[in-house]
Amino acid sequence: MFGKISSLVILSCLVWLTFSNCARKGTEDKKFKTLVDEFLDAYFKASSVSATYIGEHKYDGLLDDFSPEAIQAEQSRLKQFLERMGTIDTVKLNDTNRVDFKILENEIYSQLLQNEELKSWEKSPVMYNYVVGGSINSLITRDFAPWSERLKNVLSRLKQIPRLLEQAKANLKEPSEINTSTAIRQNKGTIDLIKNELSKVLEEAPDLKDSLIAESQKVVSALEDYQKFLENDLLPRSKGDFRLGKELFEEKLKYTLQSDLSSDEIVKRAEQEFTRVRKRMFDIAQSLHDKLFPTHKHKESGEQLESVIVKEVLDEIAKDHPQKDELLAMCRQIMKDLVDFVKEKDLVDLAGINPLEVDWEPEFSRGVAIGGLDAPGPLDKNQKSFYRISPVPDDWTKEEVESYLREYNNYMLRDLSIHEAMPGHYVQGFYANQYPSLVSSIFGNGPFIEGWAIYSERMMVNAGYMNFDPRFELQQLKMYLRAVINAILDAKIHAGNMTKEEAIKLMTEGGFQEISEAEGKWVRALLTSTQLSTYFVGIQEILDLEKDYKEKMGDRFSQKEFNQKLLSHGAPPVRFLREIILEKE
């Protein structure tokens, strides 16, 4: 009898302890959710233009504030939230919240670094361009609310733009010359956005038309005055160093990658991959070379022979390119072909995916990349995505135009469209927006996002896109070689002293890039520190995960199943996906 009572007491205690632990875990989860909700609301209010992109429209009538008081208040807010996070027992969080905790903590540290060290409001006139142009463009291109509501918020933001431009004038100290010269070009596009693009939709809200016209005129005048400031005041004193320096670069890199990899280790791995990829390109190019140039004989050997053979073949492939006025139409046709192929091969489930529109990049944001995806934020459900292409600039010479079109020939345009859209960023972004965790979706991990896009390119080659045409595989490897070189450029420019001449040589001679592409990448590398490392780091992490998953599954490995697992957990660092995919499924 005593034994039975003791057993019952022990059982009761175990049950009580179990419920008690669950209750404590539930308490920590609720505590963390409250903190996340408060953090995001404050973040949306302070970064209202970003909030519009994300899909939080409560602050669509506001414009970011870069006054000293606002900057200091944001700094204090971030530190307070970091202190509050320290009171949460992460052991008692559920698996999803434990990952979100680490992502949010990383984001806060990253924003603190921005406020304390990077100080883009002092060093980046380009940043103000994105805020001003993006504040209006996001409201007139996305159909998330009635025109009357969106244009009411456009009017509100127009009234605040002169204030923001005055803050920019007061804040900007000594940016780098490349940042200011880029801002000068982009600001002309912002003026065009207000003058011409906004005017096309004024009839959608007749009651607001006169007020919008009046405010638009004031904003154009303020932007034209700002243009003079950029050209005559800021540009002559834009003597700032475009390099971050090794210490600051390493610190920023840690938060961008959410990894402990140093820049030295990344460069070491990238240089090894550089050699491997070039050899693979040579193997493919050599067989094509024998068919294309049966009479060409070369005396070179080793790396010189590799370069000559690969370049001759790529030069021949580059002749097959669209004309400048055919670029957009070709990209639209390519998108249709890609969708059909992905469905035919059943590579990923596209059911319910949001529509995609292929269009030109707005002028105010040109000058950084050839193409990119403008996708709806995680809070904007059922909105279309935009695959945007930068047109050939009207003021380019014939040589510059030809170089541009040769780089983005019919094969490279297909690979770019895979990366940016189908099944790359467009598909990944759609899946990320379906994931219930806002933290993972809003503060998505760059290496995973870019890694998936490159993984998509390789997957399409392996699945037989373009009927296993070796010319397409060669172009895909050339594109991948860009990612490898990007990581080298990123570190050697910002944590080293690589010159423009050295960078251009690496890209053109080492990576077989056209001079126009290399020149554009040099500008981008100077403007976007640490981002260029995400491509190489991300694809390596995903390939390592795929290798381990294949070993786990053996003959049961399914490409589609692996893709669905990768895409169905938001956009976390790959190390968290490893735990989910390899250990818990």
Give the strand pairing for 371-374 and 385-389: antiparallel
Work out the average pLDDT over 89-107. Answer: 95
- pLDDT at residue number 512: 93
**Which residues does 314 contact at the CB level (< 8 Å), separation at least 6?**
285, 474, 475, 478, 512
The two structure tokens encoding residue 461: 């080659």
pLDDT for residue 3 is more than 70: no
- pLDDT at residue number 4: 46
Sign (positive or negative) of CA dihedral 184, 190, 194, 195: positive
The two structure tokens encoding residue 511: 């990576």
Q: Are 426 and 373 in contact (CB under 8 A)?
A: yes
Distance (Å, rounded) from C-alpha 254 to C-alpha 241?
21
Instruction: Tell me the per-residue pLDDT of 542-577, one tens digit each, with 9 for 90 and over.
Output: 999 999 999 999 999 999 999 999 999 999 999 999
Instruction: Tell me the per-residue pLDDT of 58-85, one tens digit each, with 9 for 90 and over.
Output: 999 999 999 999 999 999 999 999 999 9
Sign (positive or negative) of CA dihedral 53, 110, 245, 171: positive
The two structure tokens encoding residue 232: 């005559």
Strand order through the sheet with 356-360: 356-360, 385-389, 371-374
- pLDDT at residue number 390: 87
Q: How many CB atoms lie within 10 A of CB 462?
A: 11
Distance (Å, rounded) from C-alpha 98 to C-alpha 121?
33
What burial letters (b/e) apply to 275-296, b meaning 16+ CB within 10 Å?
A: eebbeebbebbeebbeeeeeee
Instruction: Look at phi and psi of residue 12 and say left if phi exceeds 0, alpha if psi is from -120 to 50, else beta.
Output: alpha
Work out the average pLDDT over 216-240. Answer: 98
Work out the average pLDDT over 401-427. Answer: 93
What burial letters (b/e) apply to 422-438, b meaning 16+ CB within 10 Å?
A: bbbbbbbbbbbbebebb
Q: Which of 484, 393, 465 is nearest to 189 (CA)?
A: 393
pLDDT for residue 1 is more than 50: no
pLDDT for residue 114 is more than 70: yes
Quick check: helix, strand or coil at residue 359? strand
Q: Are 36 and 104 in contact (CB under 8 A)?
A: yes
Residue type, 354: N
**Which residues does 256 contact at the CB level (< 8 Å), separation at least 6?**
110, 446, 530, 531, 533, 534
Instruction: Tell me the per-residue pLDDT of 199-221, one tens digit each, with 9 for 90 and over.
Output: 999 999 999 999 999 999 999 99
pLDDT for residue 21 is more than 80: no
Q: Which of 375, 366, 374, 385 is nearest to 129 (CA)?
A: 366
End-to-end CA distance of the chain: 45
The two structure tokens encoding residue 567: 């895409």
- pLDDT at residue number 18: 46
- 5 confidence band (pLDDT: 50, 70, 90): very low
Distance (Å, rounded) from C-alpha 514 to C-alpha 509?
9
pLDDT for residue 368 is more than 60: no
Q: Please, where are the H alpha helices in 293-443?
A: 302-318, 327-345, 398-407, 410-420, 425-434, 438-442
Distance (Å, rounded) from C-alpha 441 to C-alpha 104?
11
Q: Are 289 and 296 in contact (CB under 8 A)?
A: yes
pLDDT for residue 2 is more than 60: no
Per-residue HEC secondary structure of 520-564 comes to HHHHHHHHCCCHHHHHHHHHHHHHHHHHHHHHHHHHHCCHHHHHH
Distance (Å, rounded) from C-alpha 211 to C-alpha 147?
15
Work out the average pLDDT over 121-139. Answer: 96
The two structure tokens encoding residue 231: 């050209």
Work out the average pLDDT over 130-153. Answer: 95
Distance (Å, rounded) from C-alpha 392 to C-alpha 491?
30
- 366 confidence band (pLDDT: 50, 70, 90): low
- 530 confidence band (pLDDT: 50, 70, 90): very high
- pLDDT at residue number 369: 58
Looking at per-residue pLDDT, the higher value among 489 and 365 belongs to 489
- pLDDT at residue number 371: 75
Count of alpha carbons within 13 angstroms of residue 251, beta-carbon side = 14
Per DSSP, 159 falls in state H
- pLDDT at residue number 516: 84
Instruction: Tell me the per-residue pLDDT of 457-515, one tens digit each, with 9 for 90 and over.
Output: 999 999 999 999 999 999 999 999 999 999 999 999 999 999 999 999 999 999 999 88
Rg (CA), the chain: 26
Work out the average pLDDT over 29-57. Answer: 96
- pLDDT at residue number 8: 47
Instruction: Tell me the per-residue pLDDT of 449-459, one tens digit each, with 9 for 90 and over.
Output: 999 999 999 99
Please list the residues that pair with 388 across neighbouring strands.
359, 372
Distance (Å, rounded) from C-alpha 84 to C-alpha 81?
5
Instruction: Tell me the per-residue pLDDT of 483-495, one tens digit each, with 9 for 90 and over.
Output: 999 999 999 999 9
Sign (positive or negative) of CA dihedral 390, 396, 402, 404: negative
Distance (Å, rounded) from C-alpha 335 to C-alpha 318?
20
Q: Are 447 and 534 in contact (CB under 8 A)?
A: yes
Instruction: Tell me the per-residue pLDDT of 179-204, one tens digit each, with 9 for 90 and over.
Output: 999 999 999 999 999 999 999 999 99
- 286 confidence band (pLDDT: 50, 70, 90): very high
pLDDT for residue 392 is more than 90: no
Distance (Å, rounded) from C-alpha 364 to C-alpha 188?
7
Residue 93 Cα distances to 21, 419, 583, angstroms: 11, 35, 18
Per DSSP, 437 falls in state -
Q: Which of 349, 434, 350, 419 is nearest to 387 (CA)?
A: 419
Which stretch of DSSP H or E encloses residue 91? none
The DSSP string of 32-72 is: HHHHHHHHHHHHHHHTHHHHHHHT--TTTT-----SHHHHH
pLDDT for residue 441 is more than 80: yes
Query: What does the mean pLDDT of the chain come to?
Result: 92
Q: Which of 33-42, 214-223, 379-388 has the lowest mean pLDDT?
A: 379-388
Which stretch of DSSP H or E encloses residue 360? strand 356-360
